[in-house]
Structure 1
Amino acid sequence: MFIRPHVIVAVTTIVAALAAVQPVGAADTMTVQAAPLRDEKAVFATIETRRSVPARTRIGGTIAALAVKEGDHVDLGQVIATVGDDKLALQMKSLDAQIAGLDAQLSQAQIDLTRNEELFAKNIVARTSLDSAKTAFNVASNALRSRTAERSVIAQQLTEGNVLAPAAGRVLKVPFTVGTVVMAGDVVGQIAEQNFVLRLRIPESQARGLKAGERIRIDAAELGGEGPRFGTVTLVYPQIEEGRVVADAKVDGLGDYFVSERIRVWIAAGERTAFVIPARAIETRFGIDYVRLRANGNDIEVPVQRGRPAPRPDLPDGIEILSGLKGGDVLVVRQ
């Protein structure tokens, strides 16, 4: 049996029309309106720390212990290494012996002073003998205080053998090993402060309008997530480095382990008006995109031409529509 082509077309049109007016499940409606749309340009940025702080030794000596390695997280004030100096221990023993001797001298001077005070009260010894006893007591007391203060200095130096983390963050580099001789001021560890930022380096010809507070977009897939992720430029550095403007942006979920990781970032390169709708409002059949519009209480499907993805914080799955819609159309969006 032969069927004419125009009959097939007519039947197909009727079926499509019937499908267009069929009710759908739970859905919302939105009014299509032209809104400002940013033209975006992809640039590369790196995950950086705001500051890389060195952990330095305060005394010279030999590294006796290392408590951290590259990649470890440290807290502020945590001991990351211990520097030992045998001379300090010997000085401490010498001072302990001197303090013991001076303590004995002070005890004897106290006994002599008490005896002379009793004899002077009975007019048995002269005033000069009592003054000599007082002077000997004061000399012994001051000598003991002096040696005790010296011992406190050595004890403080021994305490300063502990190298403390100057900031909370991640250990980037530990250049020494146990047994290495170090001098005062040597860097035992490099600490990357926590709360990493995204550092952008943009050609100066494309960054004249870049300012703090501007929104940027990254692909969360590069950070192990899903969907777009947005951030805000927090600081634009005034010094241009090798023809590039440097800026810092705050983005949640950057992590706190890898430093200098390169990821792709989209920044604003201009602005125009366009229609942007949710991607879930588009149905594709046989290579043609359709959206459902509501008019006079009925739902009809119209073909549209989609453009590039245009996600934004309030519409993560936004898609630009180049043709097929006009301002004021009521769009049916499936939930």
Structure 2
Amino acid sequence: MNRTIRSITIGLLVLAVVSGCSSNAENSNRRNSQAARAVPVEVKKAVEEEFAVQMSLSGRLEAAQQVDVPSKATGRVQQLLVKVGDRVKSGQPIALLDGEELRIQMQKAQASMLSAKARYAEATEGTEAEVLAQTANSLADLQNKANAAKIDLDRAQKLFSEGAISTAEVEKARLALASAQTSLENQKQKAQQEKKGPTQAALDSAAATLKQAEADYALSQLNVSNLTIKSPIDGIVGSLSATVGENVSNNTVVAQVINISTMKVTAKASEGQVGQFQPGQSVAVKIPSADVTVNGKITSVSPMADSSKSYPIEIEVANTDLRAKAGMVASVEVKGNPHKAIIVPREAVITKAQSSYVFVVEGDKAKQVTVTTGESDGTKIEILTGLQGGESVVVQGQNTLTANATVAVIDPAQAQKASGKKGGNGQGNGGWQGGQGGSGGQGGQRNQGGQGGQSNPGGQTNPSGQPNSTGNPEPSATPKG
């Protein structure tokens, strides 16, 4: 009877011990499972501070003046007076054309102009005294003839009344008088006109003829002068497209002249950057290939975005030593205006599908917060909306997070120290796989899926007490409970 009671009591005790061990194991597994689900992350505070971005825009140098030099005449290239790279002044001859026909036309126009000048002078100076005397003599002679014709008519009429002559002879004498009187009257009008001088109409006609002749001569002179092709600006000959002996026509480009003593850079700013640039602002311009850094002045900021959604900005750059060349790459360096802003590390911001967000740790949860970003200096980025400052923002581990994920915040200094003490990997006996060494490392795992024991600092453990990575023997793991 006592033996039976003792057996029952021992059985109950064993059952209690086994139950206790099972309960402790379940609680431990639950805690381990929860810890395993927490994502380790590193965080930094979102802070409000003075922020100014050092912006760098790139572009290519262009000559401030770059002009094509066309031929203004048609002819054969007789001579080239410059070569590529020569410096030229405004008005300096570049090429000569052969134009004999134009020179002959100019001579004819000159002769016509001289003739028109003579006629105009005659009209404005009046009639000479010699001409007036000749007119007066002619007038007196005609007056005498008219008087004689009157006497002849009177005599013929008397003879006709006496029956001495016929009617026909009387009529002949009458016609002779009429003709003499007409000639006399015409000469009187001429003499009167010569005394008065030319009419206004005659003067206007002479003046118009002279002007036309002068215009024709000036045009012919211009055509001949166009046979000499000249540079329109001070600069350097950038190209020569004509050759000696080649026939060129009007508006054929024979050369290109560029002025690179002053150059310009056309850079493009983004929507967030364009507000930092103003006309008249001084900026640093670096030209790496010429090893030159100069101050430039912004001459224009486009108020409209181009097809690439960028805003063209033109910067004028002095190039007095001509070291910089057209086409070279230049970078425009400018520091933005300092302003108060909420700042987070650049890596904290995740951008997907044209939206940006960060993860903010609240307790043991990672909250996904949509943000609007501003400028970035490559290390830090400005947050325009979404954060107020002071939030703990995930900067490591954020790419594997989901909204409201459970997280475990890691001190980066301790994590770095622990990684420095990490031990080697060891292979256990009896089918046990050594885990990762180091303080608090994972224990061995049995091939059949069993859970190994915990390792000590720097070593591996297995049930058979095989040496760990340091070569020291370990005791066999004994399950608790």
Name the TM-score, length of structure 1 as normaliser: 0.52
SS in 2 for 1:50: strand
SS in 2 for 1:119: helix
Change (3 A) 1:198 1:107: closer
Task: Report 1:202-213 matches (<5 A).
Answer: 202=268, 204=270, 207-212=273-278, 213=280
2:290 equivalent in structure 1: 223
1:183 equivalent in structure 2: 249
Query: Aligned to 2:326, which of 259, 281, 298?
Result: 259
SS in 1 for 2:219: helix
Compute the displacement of 1:128 (Å): 6.7
CA RMSD of aligned residues (A): 4.6
1:311 equivalent in structure 2: none
Change (3 A) 1:147 1:37: same
Task: Report 1:74-89 matches (<5 A).
Answer: 74-89=88-103
**Deviation string for 1:33-72 (max 9, x for gaps)?**
xxx8854344433221234222233333333333333222
Unaligned runs of 5+ in 1: 1-35, 274-335
Change (3 A) 1:215 1:144: closer
Instruction: Output the amino acid matched with 2:73.
Output: I
The answer to whether structure 1 residue 154 and structure 2 residue 220 are counterparts is yes
2:70 equivalent in structure 1: 56
Query: Aligned to 2:299, which of 224, 230, 234?
Result: 234
The answer to whether structure 1 residue 46 and structure 2 residue 60 are counterparts is yes
Looking at structure 2, the residues matched to 107 and 231 of structure 1 have their Cα atoms a distance apart, in angstroms, of: 63
Task: Tell me, yes or no, if the aligned pair for 1:218 and 1:265 is still in contact at 8 Å.
Answer: yes
Name the TM-score, length of structure 2 as normaliser: 0.39
Name the % identity.
18
Task: Tell me, yes or no, if the aligned pair for 1:45 and 1:201 is still in contact at 8 Å.
Answer: yes
Task: Report 1:39-188 matches (<5 A).
Answer: 39-95=53-109, 115-122=130-137, 123-124=139-140, 126-127=187-188, 147=213, 149-188=215-254
**Deviation string for 1:261-314 (max 9, x for gaps)?**
1134434367589xxxxxxxxxxxxxxxxxxxxxxxxxxxxxxxxxxxxxxxxx
Looking at structure 1, the residues matched to 206 and 338 of structure 2 have their Cα atoms a distance apart, in angstroms, of: 86
Looking at structure 2, the residues matched to 95 and 202 of structure 1 have their Cα atoms a distance apart, in angstroms, of: 57
Task: Report 1:230-309 matches (<5 A).
Answer: 230-243=295-308, 244-253=310-319, 255-256=321-322, 258-268=325-335, 271=338
Instruction: Output the amino acid matched with 2:302.
Output: Y
Change (3 A) 1:148 1:235: closer
Query: Using CA pairs below 8 Å that are at least 6 residues apart, which structure has the higher relative contact order?
Result: 1
Which structure has greater helix proportion?
2
Looking at structure 1, the residues matched to 289 and 122 of structure 2 have their Cα atoms a distance apart, in angstroms, of: 79
Compute the displacement of 1:182 (Å): 2.5
Count of aligned positions: 236
Change (3 A) 1:63 1:270: same
Compute the displacement of 1:157 (Å): 1.9
Compute the displacement of 1:149 (Å): 5.0
Compute the displacement of 1:258 (Å): 1.9
Compute the displacement of 1:259 (Å): 0.9
